[in-house]
Structure 1
Amino acid sequence: MSTISGLPAHPLLVHFLVVLAPLTAILAIFCALWPAARRRFVWLVAALAGITAVLTPITANAGEWLEHNVGETAAVEVHEHLGKTMIYFAAALLAAAIALVVTHRRAERSKPLSKAVSAVIAVFVVVASVATTVQVFRIGHSGAVATWGEVAAD
């Protein structure tokens, strides 16, 4: 996907990820640390993490198309390099969501995971969520510098 209604798709798709990834991360942390939130939001977290994982490579591919049409600069190269790493963070967030679903399903069936395993999952969810949010910020910042850096310097 390179354009949407004649406009480059990348900037439009990026806005979905900029909202979805941190929102998913915040909800995942709540689910990891607060069982009542897990009961209410675990399926939403799983769905949002899945959408984030699917949109990430689509957005990256649209970004590569855009790069070839606007030209390469050092700032665009930095943004592209960081953007290519997002798939790993989206995958970690999806794995965290799956772990939350497993935790939830086990608790529903009166076969909860041990406290040690639950603690490891909670730590993984928090680390994956924070890392994803930080990486979204880093990628977004580098994209803003690539797009607006020269304008801001004037």
Structure 2
Amino acid sequence: MSTFNGLPAHVLFVHFIVVLAPLTAVLAIVCAVWPAARERLVWLVLALSLVTAVLTPLTTEAGEWLQHRVARSPLVDTHVELGDTMIFFSGALVIATALLTLQHVRAGRGKALSTMLSAAIAVFVVLAGVGTFVQVYRIGDSGAKATWSEKPLTSVANGESDAE
């Protein structure tokens, strides 16, 4: 999908990622360190991580479509390079929430994981969550700079250029 109601789809998808990825990361961290929250939220957090993982490649694909329709610049290139890394962070978040879910299911069956393994899962979830949060910020910041820099991007399709 390249456009939606005349707007580049990337602009719309980005808003989902900017909200869902950090929200999922924070909720995953809460579930990792607070068992009562895990009991109530683990399935929601797993679902949110899966939605984020599905939306991430859609967002980057829509961004690549948009990249070919704006003037080239180092700021856009930086944003594209950072955006391409988001799939790794979304994947880590899915793995982290799957581990939390496994921990929750085993505890519900009376087969709790060892303290060492539970601690390792918590550390992984915190690292994946913080990494996701930071990377969403970095990607968003680079996109904002590319879009709203002193010399805004102009459309190549309209015959305009930023090389004036």
Task: Note the C-alpha offset of 1:123.
Answer: 0.1
Query: Which residue in 2 is equivalent to 1:63?
Result: 63
The C-alpha deviation readout for 1:13-36, integer Å capped at 9, x for no partner, is 001000000000000001000010
Aligned to 1:49: 49
Equivalent position of 1:5 in the other structure: 5
- Partner letter of residue 116 of structure 2? A
- Structure 1 unaligned spans of 5+: none
TM-score with structure 2 setting the length:
0.91
Work out the number of aligned pairs and report it: 152
| Counterparts of 2:103 and 2:112, CA distance in 1 | 7
CA distance in 2, matches of 1:69, 1:34: 46
Partner Cα distance (1:46, 1:72) in 2: 38
Cα shift readout 1:59-105 (whole Å, capped 9, x = no counterpart): 00000000101122110000000000000000000000000000000
The equivalent residue for 2:139 is: 139
Amino-acid identity (%): 62
Which structure 1 residue ranges, 4+ long, deviate > 3 Å from structure 2? none
Q: For 2:41, give the aligned amino acid.
A: F
- Structure 2: segments with no counterpart, 5+ residues: 153-164
Q: Deviations over 1:97-116 (max 9, x none)?
A: 00000000000000000000
Amino acid at match of 2:5: S
Offset, 1:5: 1.1
SS at match of 2:85: helix
**What's 1:83 paired with?**
83
Q: Secondary structure of 2:72's partner?
A: coil
Q: How does 1:5-154 map to 2 (within 5 A)?
A: 5-150=5-150
Q: Structure 2: how far apart are the matches of 1:43 and 1:128?
A: 18
Matches of 2:107 and 2:151, distance apart in 1: 54
- Which has the higher Rg, Structure 1 or Structure 2? 2
| Counterpart-to-counterpart distance in 2, 1:91 and 1:75 | 26
Please give the alpha-carbon distance, in whole angstroms, between the structure 1 residues aligned to 2:71 and 2:99: 41
CA distance in 2, matches of 1:12, 1:151: 23
Specify which structure has the higher proportion of helix.
Answer: 1
Measure the CA separation in 2 of the matches of 1:149 and 1:7.
Answer: 20
Q: Shift in Å at residue 151 of structure 1?
A: 5.1
Separation of aligned partners in 1, 2:5 and 2:36:
42
Q: Distance in 2 between matches of 1:149 and 1:134?
A: 21
